[in-house]
Amino acid sequence: MSENRKCQVLIVGAGPGGYVAAIRSAQLGLETIIVEGDKPGGVCLNIGCIPSKAIIHAAERYESLTKHSADNGHMGITINDNPNLDMKGIVEWKDTIVQRLTKGVEALVKGSGAELINGWATFSSSKQCTVKTNQGDIIIDAENVIIATGSTHIDLPFMPCDEEFILSSTGALSLQKLPKKVAIVGGGYIGLELGCALSKLGSEVTVIEGMDSILGIMDKEIRRPLEIWLKKNKVTVHTNALARGSKIKGKGASSKVELTFEKDSEEHKITVDKVLVTVGRSPNSKGWGLENMGIRMDTSGRFIRIDRQCRTSAPGVYAIGDVAGEPMLAHKASAQGEMVAEIISGEKREFDKVAIPAIVFTEPEIVSVGLTPDEAKERGEEIITGKFPLAANGRALTLEAEKTGGFIRVTARESDHVILGIQAVGSHVAELHGEFVLALEMGALLEDIADTVHAHPTMTEAFHESVLKSLGHAIHSA
């Protein structure tokens, strides 16, 4: 027999959008239930953002140690023996971080007063669903519904991921043994982040990208330092190349994967230990009764259509995060979740962000906030720009953050000096993004940044200098 429940707010999906919405709803005194089919934290915490950054950090540590164990050492430091790499140990360390954060999210949700139900929700109408749990079915009627079902990796129909030889990012983050050779199908940020990490750990990496450049979301100038690093570290990149299929060769532990791809109208084959497929993500809009909710999709047919308050076409039903459109970023989902909870409670809010930061954790790291120079020009803006090299920043030199030709670039409107966009590339630049976002969200002028004292020696001085450069009077750059 089914249990019947009612609540003011029902949230489906406990990822970075859903769990934030649940916590904020409960804080505001709303009776809140959140349903999650797997573990709290969603893709980002369990098999995405957090575990990948842990692997990336471990790879950086290993690469640093190998430098110190080289013939002449590094920085005057020499390690006599080569460092040992235990891939299984790295994954176990990564898993402890994920488990700690997952339990933390669960505790935060419950501590806020929201109820977390583990099960699979299927909607029969816009505000009623049946949740299948290990203890039986629960029918929930809600006054308001927040859809936060997230996204999943895209499989290639002719080469589906088996997580043994053909890996998604999920399988790549659980490798028990470092592969000697890896082919990455898809030269976007996910593939390149993992590709850089695997290269640092010692894998021979080949990237197969269908477009005419890797990391097409970034402009040519900003991705150039990454291209230099890939070339320097012998990562083979094939652009305008399309994967066509794969074949498993051999048996048991000696098995290999033969990957076939097409480039310049010719067929090519490479043999590797693993193939990592990172060709994008697809919103989770099927398998839970969306078709029964009377909700319209956007013009692409992929995402749920929402307005600036994340409202769908069904009254009292909201959609947030990856299922509701680009950019498919965890921090966007969290901001939307918090906002929707406050809207339901009666506050006047709308999602009107000047800038949502995009960060790529490759080597070097890449940050983009707001418009690039080309995007600003396409909008009809008359602009001025300033670019400051990290090689001229003292702190960057001490951190070796300048080694790939990194820089910070500022774009501003020429007439009133309002900052329109900021991009940065270099080791450790991800942590600078907060100042960039604040500048755009607060409508800062170049003069606002120029007149702000930045501590020395820090990498934020490079941002200050890039602004001075755009004004025509940089101190530490010609």
Q: Residue 326 sits in a domain of what CATH number?
A: 3.50.50.60
Q: State pTM to two decimals.
A: 0.94
Same domain, 116 and 13: yes
392 and 307 within one domain: no
Residue 102 falls within a domain, yes or no? yes
Burial class (CB in 10 A: 0-12, 13-18, 19+), 258: middle
- Is 7 found in the same domain as 135? yes
Q: Please, which residues have CB within 8 angstroms of residue 178's CB and are 6 or more apart in sequence? A: 85, 87, 198, 201, 202, 203
Residue 71 is predicted with a pLDDT of: 75
Is residue 9 domain-shared with residue 127, that is, in the same domain? Answer: yes
pLDDT at residue 474, rounded to an integer: 84
- Percent of the chain at pLDDT > 90 equals 90
Residues 102, 131, single domain; the answer is yes
Task: Answer yes or no: is 62 within a domain.
Answer: no
What does DSSP say about strands 419-426 and 407-413: parallel, antiparallel, or unpaired?
A: antiparallel
450 part of a folded domain: yes
Q: Which domain holds residue 36?
A: 3-49+91-153+282-344
Residue 284 is classified by DSSP as -
477 located within any domain: no
Residues 314 and 363 in one domain: no
pLDDT digits (tens, 9 = 90+) for 146-174: 999 999 999 999 999 999 999 999 999 99
Check whether residue 109 and residue 186 sit in a common domain.
Answer: no
Of 312, 344, 376, the residue that ends a domain is 344
Amino acid at 301: G
Q: Is residue 332 part of a domain?
A: yes
From the candidates 456, 464, 473, 476, which is the catalytic residue?
456
* 448 and 417 fall within a common domain: yes
Count: domains in the chain? 3
For residue 254, give every residue at least 6 positions away whose Cβ sits within 8 Å of its Cβ, in sequence order, or none: none
Same domain, 270 and 289: no
Please indicate, yes or no, whether residues 223 and 266 belong to a single structural domain of this protein. yes
180 and 254 part of one domain: yes
Does residue 368 sit within a domain?
A: yes
Measured CA distances, 168 to 161, 164, 183, 212, 279 (Å): 6, 10, 12, 23, 9
* Residue 463 located in a structural domain: yes
Query: In this structure, is residue 72 part of a structural domain?
Result: no
Residues 35 and 147 in one domain: yes
Residue-wise pLDDT tens digits, 365-388:
999 999 999 999 999 999 999 999
Domain boundary among 315, 344, 373: 344
Length of the chain as a residue count: 478
Top-confidence residue, 82 or 437: 437
- 3-class SS at 106? helix
- 74 classed as catalytic: no
What does the pLDDT read at residue 1?
59
